Every structure is written in C-alpha cells, then in structure tokens.
Structure 1
Amino acid sequence: MRITWFAWLAKHFGEYGYSEGLWRAAIGTGAVLVTAALLWLALHRNRPAAVAAAGLTCALGIGWLAFH
C-alpha cells in the first residue's frame, strides 16, 4: 500500500495546492497527513525518528501546499 500511495502522490504532485480551491486543498492536506502517518508507522520502532519524520513531513507538506 505504501508504494501505491507514494506513486499516487508523485502522479498528482502539483494538483492539490491551497490555491486550487477548498476541496482540492482538503484533499492535499489529507494526503500530507496520510503520508505522515505512513512514515510514523514505518518508523514506529524508533520513536524519535518517527516523531521527527512525521513532523517534518507535515511541516514541509503543508508549507508546500500553502505556497503552491
């Protein structure tokens, strides 16, 4: 599922910024949160790495959506 998710994200990389409207912004934010959750689950055995990866993903993903 993770590979499929990242493939979908790569395919639709530029389509879900906040400047695209409320519905697309909600989908983009949801995609960022799901990606952060997948990273958390992938790294759950090393809690500091999981927290850092998920937090960085959220910050960079939502920041990218805001300026896209």
Structure 2
Amino acid sequence: MRIAWFAWMAQHVDEFGYSDGPLRASIGTGAVLLTAALLWLMLHRNRPAAMAAAGLTSVLGVAWLAVH
C-alpha cells in the first residue's frame, strides 16, 4: 500500500499545484500530508527519524506546490 502510494504520487506529481486553483491546491496539500503520515507510520519505531522525515516531507512538499 505504501509503495503503491509513493508510485502514484510520482506519476501525478505535476497535477496538484497551488497555481491551479483552490481545489487542486487542497488536494495537493492533502496528498503531501498523507505522504508525510505514511512516512511517519513506516518509521514509527524510531520517533526522531519519523518526526524528521514527516516534517521534511511536509515542508518540502508544500514549498514545491507553492512554487510550481
């Protein structure tokens, strides 16, 4: 499931930008946050790594959406 999600995100990464309107922006932000949550769940046994990975994914994902 997790690998399928990351593969799906890689295929559709250019479709969810903030410049495409509020609906696509909210979908893109939700996708970024879901990806960060999945990273947290994958690394939950090592809490510092989980926090760092999820935080970095959130920040980089939202920043990427903001500039594309």
**Normalising to structure 2: TM-score of the pair?**
0.97
Does residue 14 of the first structure (1) align with residue 14 of the second (2)? yes
Q: State the distance in 1 between where 2:45 and 2:7 align.
A: 25
Identity %: 74
Gaps of 5+ in 1: none
Root-mean-square deviation (CA), in Å?
0.5
Aligned to 1:60: 60
Q: State the distance in 2 between where 1:34 and 1:40 align.
A: 10
Aligned to 1:40: 40
How many residues in Structure 1 have an aligned counterpart in Structure 2?
Answer: 68
**Deviating runs (4+, > 3 A) in structure 1?**
none
Amino acid at match of 1:65: L
**Normalising to structure 1: TM-score of the pair?**
0.97
Q: Structure 1 or 2: larger helix share?
A: 2
Q: SS of the residue aligned with 1:44? A: coil
- Per-residue deviation, 1:56: 0.2
